[in-house]
């Protein structure tokens, strides 16, 4: 059998797209250790200035003017494929993409970022790209940016996204519900007590994980840690600051003098361990973070979800019973203390998480992708 050659595109406009791609890569290598994989950032095909401006603008908007992002998200959620905006987006980096793919000659292309999927889908329709194109939807909501007629196969996280794609004209046979792919390490059963002891924490205390993402977009993280460190309820807190150095330093007093223990980290690569150690997570509602927590059967409390995809992801969580949403500090405080006092409610949320994400998402996604490739090859042989 010839060596399988796979090209994967993600984007660093939010770490979730990259993590989804990495999960697929892990699962592909598990299936075929000899597979050749090229993983690229969509932004590298744009000018450095344009890429930097877009990325920085996105981060600043979601941090400081999230309502503006929400308006843009909802106003563009149903634009048709032939709209002026979509035609512009489909032209981004087009020549560079085509040249690169012609040299690489992959057997298939996988996209975890919607804009690049649109660019390549257009080339697929024109016959310029002649290999299967797979899109992995990394949210629990349907947006027009994920929907492109030239895509051969969709990997989606839930029934609602499947139904949304079908309602917008996508062939049901080209959609596979697997769950959003996360690294297989989130499937591992880890010893909570050993992890907490390694962090010099008490294995017998309820543990809250506070996580704001790589860019520190969880507003109020310091305040959350403060109320947890001062409450009369016995509890301990793990906070992941990501690249937010200001937040990390601001936690000095709580770490050193807090009534309840607070342990902090900067950027981490062991999120699966931290989630295994926690009884609940307070976080943003990014598609990958939500799915990783659900995979670990970890109840979620979403604080001030950003209007748009995060808001939709939070709605999905609440509908499944695996998460609660707080839109104000007062509401968040009530939810946290209620859950700390009522362990049965946390247990119900854990069971709901298990139903929402049965597991093996990356493995199932790869099985569907390889089946698509096998069907295409069989068709070509017959033809």
How do the domains of the chain map onto residue ranges? 5-179+359-382, 185-356
Q: What is the pLDDT of residue 68?
A: 82
Residue, of 45 and 194, whose pLDDT is higher: 194
Q: What is the pLDDT of residue 2?
A: 78
**DSSP letter at 3?**
P
Q: What is the mean pLDDT of residues 23-36?
A: 96
pLDDT surpassing 90 at residue 186 = yes
Q: What is the mean pLDDT of residues 126-154?
A: 93
Q: What is the pLDDT of residue 320?
A: 96
pLDDT surpassing 60 at residue 216 = no
Q: What is the pLDDT of residue 93?
A: 64
pLDDT surpassing 90 at residue 206 = yes
Q: What is the mean pLDDT of residues 8-17?
A: 86
Helix-helix angle 221-230:329-341, to 10 degrees: 40
CATH number of 185-356: 3.40.50.2000
Q: What percent of the chain has pLDDT over 70?
A: 92
pLDDT surpassing 60 at residue 54 = yes
Q: What is the mean pLDDT of residues 346-356?
A: 95
Whether 185-356 and 5-179+359-382 are alike in CATH topology: the answer is: yes
Q: What is the mean pLDDT of residues 150-159?
A: 96
pLDDT band for 213, please (50, 70, 90 cuts). low
Mean pLDDT of the chain: 90
What is the end-to-end Cα distance of the chain in Å, rounded? 20
pLDDT band for 166, please (50, 70, 90 cuts). very high
- What's the CATH number of domain 5-179+359-382, 3.40.50.300, 3.40.50.2000, 3.40.50.970, 3.30.70.20? 3.40.50.2000
pLDDT tens for residues 289-320?
A: 999 999 999 999 999 998 999 999 999 999 99
pLDDT surpassing 90 at residue 262 = yes
DSSP per-residue string spanning 262-322 = EEEESS-S-HHHHHHH-SEEEE---HHHHHHHHHTT--EEEESPPTTHHHHHHHHHHHHTS
Most confident of 46-55, 310-319, 353-362: 310-319
Question: 6-15, 273-282, 334-343, 351-360: which range is least confident on average?
Answer: 6-15
Q: What percent of the chain has pLDDT over 90?
A: 68
pLDDT band for 200, please (50, 70, 90 cuts). very high
- CB within 8 Å of 293: residues ≥ 6 apart: 275, 281, 283, 300, 353
- CB within 8 Å of 261: residues ≥ 6 apart: 201, 202, 205, 229, 236, 237
pLDDT band for 69, please (50, 70, 90 cuts). confident
Q: What is the pLDDT of residue 61?
A: 73
Strand bridging mode 323-326 / 108-111: unpaired
């Amino acid at each position: 059998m010839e060596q399988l050659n796979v090209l994967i595109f993600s984007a660093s406009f939010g770490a979730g797209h990259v993590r989804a791609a990495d999960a697929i890569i892990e699962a592909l290598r598990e299936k075929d250790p000899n597979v050749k994989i090229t993983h690229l950032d969509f932004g590298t095909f744009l000018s450095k200035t344009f890429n930097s401006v877009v990325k920085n603008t996105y981060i600043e908007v979601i941090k400081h003017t999230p309502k503006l992002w929400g308006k843009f998200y909802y106003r563009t959620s149903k634009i048709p494929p032939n709209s002026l905006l979509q035609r512009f987006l489909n032209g981004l980096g087009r020549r560079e993409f085509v040249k690169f793919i012609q040299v690489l000659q992959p057997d298939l292309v996988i996209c975890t970022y919607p804009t690049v999927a649109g660019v390549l889908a257009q080339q697929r329709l024109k016959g310029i790209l002649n290999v299967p194109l797979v899109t992995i939807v990394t949210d629990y909501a349907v947006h027009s940016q994920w929907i492109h007629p030239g895509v051969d196969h969709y990997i989606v996280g839930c029934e609602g996204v499947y139904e949304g794609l079908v309602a917008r004209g996508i062939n049901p046979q080209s959609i596979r519900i697997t769950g959003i792919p996360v690294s297989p390490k989130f499937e591992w059963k880890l010893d909570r007590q050993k992890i907490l002891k390694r962090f010099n924490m008490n294995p017998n205390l309820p543990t809250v994980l506070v996580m704001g993402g790589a860019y520190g977009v969880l507003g109020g993280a310091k305040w959350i840690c403060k109320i947890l460190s001062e409450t009369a309820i016995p509890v301990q807190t793990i906070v992941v600051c990501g690249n937010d150095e200001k937040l990390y330093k601001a936690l000095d007093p709580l770490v050193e003098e807090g009534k309840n223990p607070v342990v902090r980290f900067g950027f981490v690569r062991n999120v699966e361990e931290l989630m295994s150690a926690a009884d609940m997570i307070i976080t943003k509602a990014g598609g990958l973070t939500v799915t990783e927590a659900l995979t670990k059967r970890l109840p979620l409390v979403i604080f001030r979800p950003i209007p748009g995809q995060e808001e939709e992801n939070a709605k999905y969580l609440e509908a499944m019973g695996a998460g609660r949403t707080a839109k104000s500090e007062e509401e968040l405080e009530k939810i946290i203390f209620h859950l700390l006092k009522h362990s049965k409610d946390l247990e119900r949320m854990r069971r709901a998480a298990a139903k929402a994400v049965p597991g093996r998402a990356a493995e199932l996604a790869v099985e569907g992708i390889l089946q698509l490739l096998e069907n295409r090859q069989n068709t070509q042989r017959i033809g």
